[in-house]
Structure 1
Amino acid sequence: MQPRELGKSGLKVSALGYGCMGLRYGYGPGVSNDDGIRIIRAA
């Protein structure tokens, strides 16, 4: 996958992202910080 430049900073990021809103709010109770970190690292 080709990276995309984010703004004019020169930072290059993946074209795909991982939405994390559901980890803390929006879809019921949030997960603990430790569980959230574990989920993000697994992704």
Structure 2
Amino acid sequence: MSIRIGTASWTDVTLIKSGRFYPKGCTSAEARLRFYAGHFPLVEVDW
């Protein structure tokens, strides 16, 4: 069994505004998704 860990939403406003996870240059959704995917093996995308 493997356990994968991520956040509830890579677009969460508090995650973005806190300045603790995304670097200052990550301003677009694409840049944030690429950065997030580089740190976690699982990304949830809702349509």
TM-score (ref. length: structure 1): 0.36
User: Which of structures 1 and 2 has the bigger CA Rg?
Assistant: 1
Give the number of the structure whose residues are more often strand, by fraction.
Answer: 1
TM-score (ref. length: structure 2): 0.34
